[in-house]
Amino acid sequence: MRKKIFAAMMVSVMAVSLLAACGKKTEAEPEATEPAVEEPAPEPAEAPAESSTQEVIEEARPTSLDDALGLAVLEYNNEYFDQGEVAGEGHILLDKEGSDAQGEQICYTITCYGRYEFEDGNFVCCAGNGAIPCVIRLMINEDGEYNLVSYEPAPDGNLFVDWIKDNFPEKYWSRCITVEDDDRNELERQQRSYAEEYLSTIGREDVEVGDYSDFEHEILTDLGVSVDVSNAMLDVQSGDNFEKNCPYWIGEREVIEEDVRYIYKTEYDKKKGQIIFSKTEYDTGNEVEKSVYDAKTGDKVE
């Protein structure tokens, strides 16, 4: 079974080595002076030798190819995405070249990656990418550990087809250029399994997992707010205030900040004609920030 590696709460098995550095400090002896008394001047005391021992923690590397590929997908994509609470990945190994014992392996894969957050009580994939053909090169050391050498995803646009033909064996061209439904479903299953396992670790395993498109989202214009005012609210949310974390739909999303879970909410009070943004603590319900806008003019009320 694949070992799940959570981006937001990743716990690595560490290998520990110790480096010791020792140095000695001595103070320069003062110039000889005639003592005020007949007693000889005391020699300056030598500073005690300093020694320090620093614990160097190195991340344990995977010893199975499946785990190594999964970790490679996570490590590469984590550089580009940071939304949500946890990351998930999927990968299908089409073929590989190289020794299974030691040395470099070239792996021809199709991968996917997604990050998840709570939206309206569901655990939703809020960022990531779909099925992408990728050439992953790994190096196996003498201890059987895999280390990433290079990660090469297929480019978007006009270069895509030529890149596949230049980098994948011909027998996989068709499968990579037009990814089959069975492959997409398998990738999605693997990716969601990370989200499901994460939910079980925080006691929220009953939450539904899905993509944004799997759930209904009402926006301001659906409720009769003009396009101009709706656009004005988007401008408000593009700033640096707390509203930037409020959802662009009528609803709520959860965000963890410095180990505290908050609920960011966007509401529409039709009776009062107001659009309300708020931030509250998840555990206590205490309101942290709030702003109110006129739904007819877009002006800030409070």
Q: Which pLDDT tens digit goes with each residue over 54-69?
A: 554 556 789 999 999 9
Terminal C-alpha separation, the chain = 54
Average per-residue pLDDT for the chain: 86
pLDDT at 101: 85
DSSP summary character for residue 214? G
**Ranges of the chain whose pLDDT falls below 70:** 1-59
Which residues, including other chains, have CB under 8 Å from residue 202's CB and lie 6 or more apart? none
pLDDT at 55: 52
| Structural class in CATH, domain 216-294 | alpha beta
CA distance 134 to 178: 14
pLDDT at 50: 46
Residue extents of the structural domains in the chain: 65-212, 216-294
pLDDT at 302: 82
The pTM for the full model equals 0.78
pLDDT at 8: 41
Q: Which two tokens stand for residue 196?
A: 């499901």
Share of the chain above pLDDT 70, in %: 80
pLDDT at 25: 39
pLDDT at 58: 53
Which residues, including other chains, have CB under 8 Å from residue 145's CB and lie 6 or more apart? 60, 61, 62, 63
Strand partners, 114: 88, 128
pLDDT at 98: 93
